[in-house]
């Protein structure tokens, strides 16, 4: 177990810059998820920690020891690949013990470690099988077993669940979390699925275009997104974001949409009169009112899912979503009032995208 320190890491591929001076500290025993859209640099960062990519500049330390220029084998880390990368000609037990056999470990020790890992993962009955005779979930477990056997300082996961079907993905997600709770090994998990990141990790790092946009606990990111990118990326359906201006009249300042509709601003938002602002509110923090209070929207689609109902509507020229546990009785083309809960409004600077409140 070990902490991982990443300092100003830069990586380029020809003219393309994959990492633009990324810095991140991963605490000992933490479970960190790197999440972001394709090409954001999350996998490159993971592979740089692993040593599979040579970085241009910056420094990587594992357990306080600098490893920037060291090959993967000297970093004492284990990686679970997206494709699992199991050796197709080796049995499950040989796959798991390959690193130990290369290191000329004693036979008894190998048997013991493989027994331990396969016990945890429920692979005891499959040790003599070849990878192709296993199901997707079992292969996934073998890949993790290969990591566990090594007793490494950190586990690195590169989108390990993306090749599984939806049901199995949820199950393996739970197993990975239990595994981390049981072993307590520092883990870094790359995924493009924000739900996976939120459910697994104690710390989520949102990346975009080679930069870290925000790092924090899942709920911190959800409740206090630092900018419009994180606000839009975390949460599904995405946060509603409306562009408009602040109007300070006689009473409390209000947010005015280009078409004249107004919305209440949160208490304490200190904004100049006429200032442009992006008004963000999550679908569950908006009520659909029958009255024409505030801003008006036109219903496009109603999606009842049982527990919740999603109401997709058009407000001005923006598509907005309202999420309610009430069974809303609206129909397409109905006019509704878009009533946000002022306590849960996020304000962003339209120029920089940064959070204002």
Q: Give contact residues for other proteins (rule: CB under 8 A).
A: 50-52, 71-73, 77-79, 81-83, 85-89, 98-99, 102-103, 129-130, 133, 146, 150
List the structure tokens of 206. Answer: 């949102």
User: Among residues 88 and 268, whose Cβ is nearest to other proteins?
Assistant: 88
Q: What does the angle CA 154 – CA 40 – CA 11 come to, to the nearest 5 degrees?
A: 70
Is residue 58 within 8 A of residue 10, CB to CB? The reply is yes
92-102 and 136-149 helices cross at what angle (nearest 10)? Answer: 20
User: Among residues 151 and 318, whose Cβ is nearest to other proteins?
Assistant: 151
CB 263 to other proteins: min, Å: 50
Q: Using CA atoms in the order 36, 42, 43, 47, what is the torsion angle rounded to 10 degrees?
A: -170
CB 78 to other proteins: min, Å: 7
User: Among residues 146 and 180, whose Cβ is nearest to other proteins?
Assistant: 146
CA distance 278 to 256: 11
Is residue 152 within 8 A of residue 78, CB to CB? The reply is yes
User: Among residues 72 and 337, whose Cβ is nearest to other proteins?
Assistant: 72
Categorise residue 112: left if φ over 0, alpha if ψ from -120 to 50, beta otherwise: alpha
Instruction: Kindly tell me the burial class for residue 264, based on how many C-beta atoms sit within 10 Å of its own C-beta (0-12, 13-18, 19 or more).
Output: middle
CB 169 to other proteins: min, Å: 20
User: Among residues 146 and 169, whose Cβ is nearest to other proteins?
Assistant: 146
CB 327 to other proteins: min, Å: 49
H or E segment and range at residue 241? strand 240-247
List the structure tokens of 116. Answer: 């331990």
User: Among residues 64 and 71, whose Cβ is nearest to other proteins?
Assistant: 71
CA distance 170 to 155: 20
User: Among residues 46 and 120, whose Cβ is nearest to other proteins?
Assistant: 46
CA distances from 241 to 16, 104, 131, 278 (A): 31, 59, 47, 6
Is residue 236 within 8 A of residue 283, CB to CB? The reply is no
User: Among residues 72 and 316, whose Cβ is nearest to other proteins?
Assistant: 72
User: Among residues 62 and 322, whose Cβ is nearest to other proteins?
Assistant: 62
CB 287 to other proteins: min, Å: 49
CB 112 to other proteins: min, Å: 18
H or E segment and range at residue 68? none
CB 70 to other proteins: min, Å: 12
CB 92 to other proteins: min, Å: 12
CB 141 to other proteins: min, Å: 15
- Centroid of chain to Cα 30: 15
């Amino acid at each position: 177990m070990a902490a991982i320190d990443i300092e100003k890491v830069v990586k380029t591929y020809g003219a393309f810059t994959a990492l633009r001076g990324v810095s991140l500290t991963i605490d000992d025993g933490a479970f960190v998820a790197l999440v972001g859209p394709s090409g954001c640099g999350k996998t490159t960062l993971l592979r740089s920690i692993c040593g599979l990519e040579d970085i241009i500049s910056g420094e990587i330390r594992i357990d306080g020891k600098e490893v920037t220029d060291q090959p993967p084998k000297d970093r004492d880390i284990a990686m679970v690949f997206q494709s699992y990368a199991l050796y197709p000609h080796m049995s499950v037990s040989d796959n798991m013990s390959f690193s130990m056999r290369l290191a000329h470990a004693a036979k008894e020790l190998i048997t013991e470690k493989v027994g331990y890992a396969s016990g945890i993962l429920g692979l005891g009955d499959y040790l003599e099988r070849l990878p192709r005779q296993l199901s997707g979930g079992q292969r996934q477990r073998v890949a993790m077993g290969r990591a566990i056997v090594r007793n490494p300082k950190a586990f690195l996961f590169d989108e390990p669940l993306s090749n599984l079907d939806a049901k199995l993905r949820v199950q393996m997600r739970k197993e990975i979390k239990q595994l981390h709770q049981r072993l307590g090994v520092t883990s870094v998990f790359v995924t493009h699925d924000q739900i996976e990141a939120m459910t697994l990790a104690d710390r989520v790092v949102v990346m975009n275009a080679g930069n870290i946009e925000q790092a924090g606990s899942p709920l911190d990111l959800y409740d206090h997104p630092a900018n419009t990118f994180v606000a839009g990326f975390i949460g599904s359906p995405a946060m509603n974001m409306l562009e408009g201006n602040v109007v300070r009249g006689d009473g409390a300042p209000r947010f005015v949409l280009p078409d004249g509709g107004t919305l209440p601003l949160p208490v304490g938002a200190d904004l100049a009169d006429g200032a442009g602002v992006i008004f963000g509110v999550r679908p569950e923090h908006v009520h659909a009112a029958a009255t024409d209070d505030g801003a008006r929207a036109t219903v496009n689609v109603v999606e009842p899912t049982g527990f919740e109902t999603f109401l997709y509507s058009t407000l001005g020229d923006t598509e907005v979503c309202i999420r309610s546990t009430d069974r809303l009785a609206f129909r397409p083309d109905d006019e509704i009032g878009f009533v946000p809960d002022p306590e849960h409004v996020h304000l962003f600077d339209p120029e920089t995208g940064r959070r204002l409140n």
